[in-house]
């Protein structure tokens, strides 16, 4: 049975939203899936709004735009407020509850609250909140194989930041186990 995930990752610039999307897309590619990755950010960049439309599918992708996501990963309150109602009934919302105290009021979606920022601080990997959330998304949705997810880290972390490879893999494990 073929499956398509229409994902919207959203937060502030500088939170790693676009990197998270690249990681998920690359993992899909490694599994031989069709993928699209479409970043969108305001002129402010760091600190401004930022989101990333991502499609991972067993079938050809008709459009890279994600207007009605199956999955929303919200890393800040403005993003949750903006996109919560666009998630399809039966969809999934993953909330960074370290940044967002508000609860989702919809009862037709599955919501996971994960204190990604707190987990990152406790494990001395601050700034990896985004990757912890990707780990949680992987655990709950299985959008790729675990092997491909970890190989994607090797491919997506730039050569000048090789020290971050193991840090990011650790962040994925924390998210998977959260």
Query: Which of 65, 77, 98, 70 has the alpha carbon at shortest distance from 11?
Result: 77
Rounded distance between C-alpha atoms, residue 97 and residue 133, angstroms: 11
Whether pLDDT at 177 is above 90: yes
Question: For the chain, how many structural domains are there in total?
Answer: 1
Rounded distance between C-alpha atoms, residue 117 and residue 107, angstroms: 26
Distances (CA, A) of 45 to 51, 62, 133, 139: 11, 29, 21, 30
Give the helix ranges, DSSP H, for 45-163.
77-83, 116-122, 129-141, 146-156
What is the separation of C-alpha 27 from the centre of its chain, rounded to a whole number of angstroms? Answer: 12
Give the pLDDT score at 34.
Answer: 96
pTM of the model: 0.93
Q: What is the CATH number of the domain that holds 100?
A: 3.40.920.10
Rounded distance between C-alpha atoms, residue 6 and residue 68, angstroms: 8
Q: What percent of the chain has pLDDT over 90?
A: 82
Range of the domain at 157: 4-177
Residue of higher predicted confidence among 137 and 12: 137
Number of neighbouring beta carbons within 10 Å of residue 81: 12
- Residue pair 27/12 in contact (Cβ under 8 Å)? The answer is no
């Amino acid at each position: 049975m073929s499956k398509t995930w229409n994902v919207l990752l959203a937060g502030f610039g500088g939170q790693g939203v676009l990197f998270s999307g690249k990681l998920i897309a690359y993992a899909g590619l490694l599994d031989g899936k069709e993928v699209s990755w479409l970043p969108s950010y305001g002129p402010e960049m760091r600190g401004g709004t930022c989101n990333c439309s991502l499609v991972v599918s067993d079938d050809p992708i008709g459009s890279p735009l994600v207007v009605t996501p199956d999955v929303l990963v919200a890393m800040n309150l403005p993003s949750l407020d903006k996109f919560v109602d666009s998630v399809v009934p039966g969809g999934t919302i993953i909330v960074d509850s370290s940044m967002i105290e508000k609860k989702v009021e919809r009862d037709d979606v599955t919501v996971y609250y994960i204190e990604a920022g707190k987990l990152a601080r406790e494990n001395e990997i601050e700034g990896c909140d985004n990757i912890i959330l990707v780990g949680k998304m992987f655990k709950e949705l299985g959008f790729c194989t675990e092997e491909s997810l970890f190989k994607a880290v090797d491919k997506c972390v730039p050569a000048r930041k090789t020290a971050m490879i193991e840090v990011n893999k650790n962040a994925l494990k924390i998210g998977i186990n959260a």
